[in-house]
Amino acid sequence: MDFLSLFVVFFLPLCFADNSATVTMTKTHVWSGNFEGHFILPVTHGDLIGWEAIITFNVPVTNIQQYVGTVKRTSSDNKIILLVNRADKGIVKQGNSLDIQIGGRYTGSTQPTATADIVDLSFDSQVVPTVVDADGTKYNYDEVLMKSILFYEAQRSGKLPANNRIPWRGDSALHDHGDNGEDLTGGWYDAGDHIKFGFPMAASTTLLAWGLLEYKDAYENSGQLEHMYDSIRWPLEWMLKCHTGPNELYVQVGDGGQDHGYWGRPEDMTMARPAFKITASRPGSDIAAEYAAAFAVSYLVFKEKDSDFADKMLDHAKQLYDFAVHHKARYSDSVNQAAAYYRSDKYEDELTWGAAWLYRVTNDTKYLNWAEQYYITGPDWGQSWDDKYSGNMILLYNMTGKDIYKNDIEATFNDWMPGGSVPYSPKGMAFRSQWGALRYASNMAFMALLSADAGIHPDEYRRWARTQIGYALGDSGRSFVVGFGTNPPKRPHHRSSSCPNRPSPCSFADQQQPGPNPHTLYGALVGGPNGQDQYADDRKDYVSNEVACDYNAGFQSAVAGLKHLKL
């Protein structure tokens, strides 16, 4: 096959994706069989991060001289040249121009002319539909929900479905397996890395499913309901695979040390990916009960849509809760490989959490007895992947109407409201902790909306929830959601979105490059600013600019609640 045919096969599809421009050679100078010219391309839509040029001449040319690229291939008739940027010449900042100066020799009396099809290798080929806000709210909640669901699709591991909407993602980690060859493919990558951590994945699924259960109309009215079902089914299917015996549950795939020494696409991973589990001899009450909670609330979500799937989850939820309550330990004491990343503080909150959800599903009083037995009273630090106390208060108050739970809800929000023990940034973010600051504020916004639904200070709690989600969406003067709103983050600490289009290699050099990520990680909520509203959109800053499945979970559910209220 000659080079022209190769061009048609491999490059023409890219041109139809609107990531290329055709530029004519200008400033041409010819003398004594020599020529020189320029291909000048203004960069107007974001920074250019990598390019290639297919240059087509009208006459054969030889002895090519240029200074910004590497000649990768020349056609047999010397009329077509494939030029790829040199490593130090790939980035052109928005507002500047790419200038490819080229020279060489030609024969005959016809002077050379040429065009260059310049392909932007940093181009994000994902097509995201325009979403019109029908509610008249300050922010387009329909768009936020749509894009947050896209973020979870970008986190998928395993064999991707035929309707995959993330064009820069492909099949990955297809050999993930357990000790006895059990299929552990699927699930979500945790954050900017490629580990599958079961605890935050299950906790995220529980919050997302709870938001869908309570605010289903928000997903229906935004046109996202079917996408949302697909979104949470992805981790649920993986979690079902992980429960390989009544007292055996896989809780992690991938080694943190090896994984964090790699910067690249999940599709290109070659390191070993060991799997880790809890058993009766090395138990984990917290994570087993969290899986049970995720299955129980998801039973309520799916019981009418897919009763067989729902019944399967309920069976596993009951088994897992029995495992959790009869074999007590913190999972991170049993699985050392999880301790450095997601160490559990205690397991009593998850024992209450799982039992409360099972009581809501089954109305079996043994679950209510367990939920109340393991409940610890007092104000909550804040809902998170490791802290379920706020959610427990709300569930148990709704189930029992007891003042102890209402009092704890009020005490918690007395701490979180302005004037309480939780400090505020100058622009109004409740600042519980630097690492994932917006995650905590968003989680508690969701808890506030649920508490308001239970009749507890509804106007006050809803207004407060609106301020915290509003801060993330732009009230501070900028958005902290990738691909949404005013001046959103463009450099999230996220490996696969930081890599150029395949087959270009990806490495730590891509982590260090200063331009935006080549692919827009739509919908991802970054960790956020410090307590003084200071924030740098810096890929290397994993404290403020990493993304994670648990960051988006309470946030997305709170947005669904605000959409439900049209607030």
- Which of 327, 493, 494, 519 is flagged as catalytic? 493
Reply yes or no on whether 327 is catalytic: no
Alpha helices in 215-247 (DSSP H): 216-221, 225-242
Neighbouring residues of 407: CB distance < 8 A, sequence distance ≥ 6: none
Neighbouring residues of 4: CB distance < 8 A, sequence distance ≥ 6: 75, 80
Buried b / exposed e along 341-360 (16+ C-beta atoms within 10 A): bbebeebbbbbbbbbbbbbb
Instruction: Determine the residue type at 226.
Output: E
End-to-end Cα distance, the chain: 61
- Which of 120, 193, 267, 510 is flagged as catalytic? 193
- Which of 227, 537, 550, 564 is flagged as catalytic? 537
Please name which of 200, 105, 107 lies closest in space to residue 152, comparing C-alpha atoms: 200
DSSP code string of 252-266:
EES-HHHHHT--S-G
DSSP state for residue 140 in the 8-state scheme: -
Query: In this structure, are residues 513 and 506 in contact, taking their beta carbons and an 8 Å threshold?
Result: no
Torsion of CA 483, 484, 485, 487, to 10 degrees: -30
Alpha helices in 386-454 (DSSP H): 389-400, 403-416, 437-453
Torsion of CA 299, 304, 307, 309, to 10 degrees: -50
269 backbone dihedrals φ, ψ, rounded to 5°? -65, 140
Reply yes or no on whether 546 is catalytic: yes
- Which of 52, 348, 546, 550 is flagged as catalytic? 546
61-66 and 51-57: which strand pairing? Answer: unpaired
Reply yes or no on whether 350 is catalytic: no
Element (H, E) at 433: none
Reply yes or no on whether 268 is catalytic: no
C-alpha 164: how far from its chain's center?
A: 15
Beta-bridge partners for 57: 114
Helix count and strand count (H, E) for the chain: 21, 15
Catalytic residues: 193, 493, 537, 546
